[in-house]
Copies of this chain bind each other. A is one copy, B any other.
Amino acid sequence: MRNIKLTIEYKGSNYCGWQKQKNGLSIQQAIVTAIAQATGESVALNGSGRTDSGVHAIAQVANFHTASPIPPERFSFAINAYLPEDISIVSSEEVPEAFHARFNAKGKVYRYYIWNAFRRNAIIPEFAYFAPNPLDLSAMQKAAQIFVGKHDFAAFMAVGSKVKSTTREIYKAEVSEVECPFGAEDGSLICIELTGSGFLYNMVRIIAGTLMEVGLGKRSERQIADALEKGERGLAGQTLPPEGLFLYKVLYEVF
């Protein structure tokens, strides 16, 4: 049996999320089905973590064990032949037997995109949240730094989530304006990029919503520090919708 690591890109708009569910098609299920078609095997596919319905991934990572004779680097081509248009295996490689996409993940990079203009964007509505009122980019950049470091992010987690610890470490928080090749010259495509040890449920979307409110002048840095300190969800900003969120990278130490 070989252990194969996949790097996966997907547009999450038409899926119920990464994880297999009773209702709705999941990304995981679509890939497991394609692997079965390519190899004849029914495999267990371990993702680095779940992504919600509507959330996209540029480089989700997953692994599975197989007895198939397909060369490791060729799995990407073999599986892509059976996948729908909105899921693509970027690359495949053999990794040590012990590698597990979730247990060995040391961190993740997420991006949240906001389309800031007076009018809706018709080309990328599935990839960016539309914020019609002008955002103060430098205020958002400055406020983002408050999140950097090891903090109790209890206030930045969806209510009702069950976790042992709500402490996480953010290594880097960047807010920038990015170019888009598909037009968008009359507005700004704002990118919030967070690199961290791990993220609580809805944490990136709540941080993005909080920073957006800073950009609107509706929330102060002092309020963010207060929310981090008190750990009450009601003290943090709104949860932005899934369409602007991209799992950008999963960080591993050895593999």
CA distance A185 to B181 in the complex (A): 14
Q: Give the shortest distance, in Å, between A18 (CB) and chain B (any CB).
A: 14
Q: Would you list which residues of chain A between 170 and 197 have a CB under 8 Å from chain B?
A: 178-183, 185-186, 189, 191
The residue from B10, B90, B180 contacting A181, defined by CB atoms under 8 A apart: B180
Instruction: Closest B residue to A10 by CB, please name it.
Output: B122
Give the contacts of A41-69 with B (CB-CB under 8 A): 56, 58-59
Nearest CB of B to A200, in Å: 24
Contact across chains for B122 and A87 when beta carbons are under 8 A apart: yes
Stretch at the interface among A113-121, A212-220, A221-229: A113-121
Cα distance, A182 to B245, chains bound together (Å)? 10
Query: Size of chain A's interface in residues, with CB distance under 8 A?
Result: 38
The reply to whether the CB of A211 lies closer than 8 angstroms to some CB of chain B is: no
A28: B residues at CB distance < 8 A? none
A69-101 residues at the B interface, CB under 8 angstroms? 76-77, 80, 85-91
The quantity of this chain's copies bound in the complex is 2
Q: State whether A9 touches B86 (Cβ < 8 A).
A: no
**Residue of B whose beta carbon sits closest to that of A185:** B58
Per the bound structure, the CA–CA distance linking A22 and B9 in Å amounts to: 38
Residue of B nearest to A59 (CB): B183
Q: Is A1 an interface residue (CB 8 A)?
A: no
- The answer to whether A181 and B122 touch across the interface, beta carbons within 8 angstroms, is no
The reply on A11 being an interface residue by CB < 8 A is yes
- A127 within 8 Å of B by Cβ? yes
Chain B residues with Cβ under 8 A from A163's Cβ? Answer: none
25 pairs, CB–CB < 8 Å, chain A vs chain B:
A9-B121, A9-B122, A9-B123, A10-B122, A10-B123, A11-B122, A58-B123, A58-B182, A59-B183, A76-B119, A77-B118, A80-B120, A85-B120, A86-B125, A88-B119, A88-B120, A88-B122, A91-B186, A111-B181, A123-B127, A127-B182, A178-B181, A179-B181, A180-B181, A183-B246
> Which A positions have Cβ atoms within 8 angstroms of B?
9-11, 56, 58-59, 76-77, 80, 85-91, 111, 113, 118-123, 125, 127, 178-183, 185-186, 189, 191, 246, 248
